[in-house]
A and B are shown apart, each in its own frame.
Chain A
Amino acid sequence: KQEVTQIPAALSVPEGENLVLNCSFTDSAIYNLQWFRQDPGKGLTSLLLIQSSQREQTSGRLNASLDKSSGRSTLYIAASQPGDSATYLCAASMNYGGSQGNLIFGKGTKLSVKP
């Protein structure tokens, strides 16, 4: 059974700092890995999707990497801003049996960027 873990559960950094959020998964049989952002009381916003054949994806100040062999993904945020404060969730899309395409989520990392 796939398990997705995100460490740390919470992170506080000063504005302008570069930071890395970590995600690990136990089963490498994934279709893709998706990073989301969730603001308090809101839904999930898709940030980046990395297909299993890819190593990384970039969008603006965000860069996500994927290493299937080690079961790890990282989300790198450059020059963090207070507006980046949110909970960041990673999710692995599985590709076996009847579970094609459904997402297994980590518990998230709550990021706080201080002005």
Chain B
Amino acid sequence: DARVTQTPRHKVTEMGQEVTMRCQPILGHNTVFWYRQTMMQGLELLAYFRNRAPLDDSGMPKDRFSAEMPDATLATLKIQPSEPRDSAVYFCASGLVIWSDRGNEQFFGPGTRLTVL
């Protein structure tokens, strides 16, 4: 049963601490997305990768957020230093783009619920 996995599922930390969230995309998928969900803003794109290369990270606060794909089976989202306003659920999604001019179906992981005190 192929699915996107995310760790940790829950994280409580104090303001100023570093937070690292991890995502394992579905094997064979070539695109990975990071989204953030809050009550006020809903779901927002933070960053996405195609074939491990970052294509768009304009939705991410650059001064404290960073996203990487060390290899095809791992994507990371790091916040340093964390702030209370970063409290949200962070979702990773993956998909397979076969043609560059065609959108792909995205499959979401269960999310990481982050609370920054």
**Which A residues fall within an 8 A CB radius of B?**
30-32, 34, 36, 41-46, 49, 51-52, 89, 91, 93-95, 98-108
Is B43 in contact with A89, judged by CB distance below 8 angstroms?
Answer: yes
User: Complex: how many Å from CA A43 to CA B5?
Assistant: 11
Contact A32 B91 (CB under 8 A): no
Counting CB contacts under 8 A, is B85 at the interface?
Answer: no
Given the interface pairs A89-B43, A107-B42, the reply to whether A99 lies near B56 with Cβ below 8 Å is yes
Residues of B within 8 A of A99 (CB): 56
Count residues of B near A (Cβ-Cβ below 8 Å). 29
Instruction: Select which of A95, A98, A107 is within 8 A of B55 by beta carbon.
Output: A98
Given contacts A46-B107, A91-B43, A100-B55, 5 further A-B contacts (CB under 8 A): A36-B108, A41-B113, A43-B110, A101-B48, A101-B97
Contacts of B55 in A (CB 8 A): 98, 100
B109 proximity list for chain A (CB < 8 A): 43
* Closest beta carbon of chain A to B71's beta carbon, Å: 21
Interface of chain B: mostly helix, strand, loop or mixed: strand
CA distance A104 to B59 in the complex (A): 12
A103-B45 contact given A43-B109, A46-B107, CB 8 Å threshold: yes
Q: List 28 A-B contacts (CB under 8 A).
A: A31-B102, A31-B103, A32-B105, A34-B105, A42-B110, A42-B111, A43-B109, A43-B110, A43-B111, A44-B108, A46-B106, A49-B105, A51-B102, A51-B103, A89-B43, A91-B43, A95-B103, A100-B55, A100-B100, A100-B101, A101-B31, A101-B50, A101-B95, A101-B104, A103-B93, A105-B42, A105-B44, A106-B42
Chain B residues with CB below 8 A from A42, complex form = 110-111
A52 neighbours in B (Cβ, 8 Å): 103
Which one of B56, B100, B101 contacts A102 once the chains associate, using CB atoms below 8 Å?
A: B56
